Amino acid sequence: MQNKTFSILPVLFAIAASTLVPGSASFARVHHATAKPAATKKATAALNALPPLAAQTALASNPPALPAKAWLLMDSDSGEVLASANADEPLPPASLTKMMTSYLVEQALRSGKLKQTDLVSVSQNAWCRGSSTESCMYLPLNSQATVIDILRGIIIQSGNDASKAIAEHMAGSEESFAKLMNAEAQRLGMAHTRFMNATGLPHPEHKSSAHDLAILARAIVHDSVDYYPIYAEREFKYNGIKQGNRNALLYTDPTVDGLKTGHTEEAGYCLVTSSKRADMRLITVMLNTNSAQARADHSRALLGWGFSNFEKATPIQPNTVVTTAKISFGKVDTVDAGLGAPWMLTVPRGQQVQTTVALTPGLEAPVTKGAVIGKVVATSNGKPVGEAPLVAQADVERAGLLLRAWQHVAKLFGK
């Protein structure tokens, strides 16, 4: 898991964080013992650098080629993939796994299954022994911590101990919690993901893809509104130890407000970010880069390309009748169809958007106001860029027996 030293991060990151190194003497000794000369780190990073990976899909021209095993850019509102490479390849996600752990905690808080003040016990299995090979919240053995502190420890400090403790609290064991993680992954449509633990510690079957992780990030942004601001918090102090968020972009780009870093030797340096500028929010996923600096730089480059090359468009204005649908066996023959909610798309800058309508065939009364009776599909330069459901704008009651009989006869004669 992520090393709890911070010497690998950029100097600017360290300055901005101001106090990334905890005050405990034991932590200071580990930090000192694992530090390497800057020249050595640069040489190692250069040696391990991957060749630039060109985009395999892109909705705008000249996407960057990024040295990573997989990367992706997604529009948060629609879930549309704007550019990607190796997006569906299952790879070790390292601590990006903890996005699912935190998401399950957040949804349990939303539903009332958990309360922020509930106490979580720290078992021998969950306890972090303070080794330099994993990241920890430093929960004392056999102690208790509130759910909200545990959530911060997972998101900000990337605590393996916090992740294991909440897994045991919610499901009885980490193994049982992994089943909950996989069930939620399936519900969200994460087709190339299998979780074996709550932390992302290496396991040969523990994999996820760039696209799946973007789907999860989007779910957090949309479903965890009350708790999403935690992902932007730069530091958290617990048990007398202050640790900084390892997402370097939080210190250098004010539009970035999440989400999670990850690192193991097998997974390389990984980062999922979310950034909002004006009315557009973009999500990036960077898997297996060669350094903490690289994952930040490549994510920054991808966000820059995305915001420069895309804009928001409203294909159909709200409260507009899009089309009129024919209804059989109703007291009226037709019903207006329109959008059920405002519809905005992210499209390449300067490109026009066209729409086509597809109504559900064979519509029959009764029809309830708000029922989906078709869809409208948007295209740009001949490529689909999104779709939205069309809903009935009024109730249509079923006709009486005599009127229905007449309508059947009229159908037979093609009237």
| pLDDT one digit per residue (tens) for the chain, 415 residues | 444 433 333 334 433 433 333 333 333 323 323 334 445 555 555 556 689 999 999 989 999 999 999 999 999 998 999 999 999 999 999 999 999 999 999 999 999 999 999 999 999 999 987 666 789 999 999 999 999 999 999 999 999 999 999 999 999 999 999 999 999 999 999 999 999 999 999 999 999 999 999 999 999 999 999 999 999 999 999 999 999 999 999 999 999 999 999 999 999 999 999 999 999 999 999 999 999 999 999 999 999 999 999 999 999 988 889 999 999 888 899 999 999 888 888 999 988 899 999 999 989 999 999 999 999 999 888 888 888 999 999 999 987 665 555 555 566 665 5
Beta-strand relationship, 334-339 and 144-146: unpaired
* Sequence ranges of the chain with CATH classification 2.60.410.10: 321-412
Nearest to 140 by CA among 148, 130, 154: 130
Per the CB < 8 A criterion, the answer to whether 365 and 328 are in contact is yes
* Sequence ranges of the chain with CATH classification 3.40.710.10: 11-310
Return d(Cα 321, Cα 301) in angstroms, integer: 41
- Residues 98, 164, 207, 260: which is the catalytic one? 98
| Three-class DSSP category at 321 | strand
- Residues 76, 78, 84, 95: which is the catalytic one? 95
- Residues 78, 84, 102, 158: which is the catalytic one? 158
* Torsion sign, CA atoms 296, 297, 302, 306: positive
pLDDT of res. 53: 95
The pTM score is 0.81
321-412 folds as Peptidoglycan synthesis regulatory factor (PBP3), Domain 2 (2.60.410)
Chain centre to alpha carbon of residue 41: 31
Nearest to 385 by CA among 34, 57, 27, 95: 57
Indicate if 24 belongs to the active site.
no
Cβ-based neighbours of 317, under 8 Å, separated by 6 or more: none
Indicate if 76 belongs to the active site.
no
The most distant pair of C-alpha atoms in the chain lies apart, rounded to whole Å, by 91
Q: Whose structure tokens read 């409208």?
A: 376
* Right CATH for 11-310 from 3.40.710.10, 1.10.260.30, 3.40.50.620, 1.20.140.10: 3.40.710.10
pLDDT of res. 319: 82
pLDDT of res. 102: 98
pLDDT of res. 3: 42
3-state DSSP helix/strand/coil percent for the chain, to nearest 5? 35, 25, 40
Number of neighbouring beta carbons within 10 Å of residue 319: 9
The token pair that represents 80 in the structure block: 């549309």
C-alpha atoms less than 13 angstroms from C-alpha of 175 in its C-beta half-sphere: 1
Return d(Cα 276, Cα 281) in angstroms, integer: 4
Indicate if 98 belongs to the active site.
yes
pLDDT of res. 380: 84
| Three-class DSSP category at 301 | helix
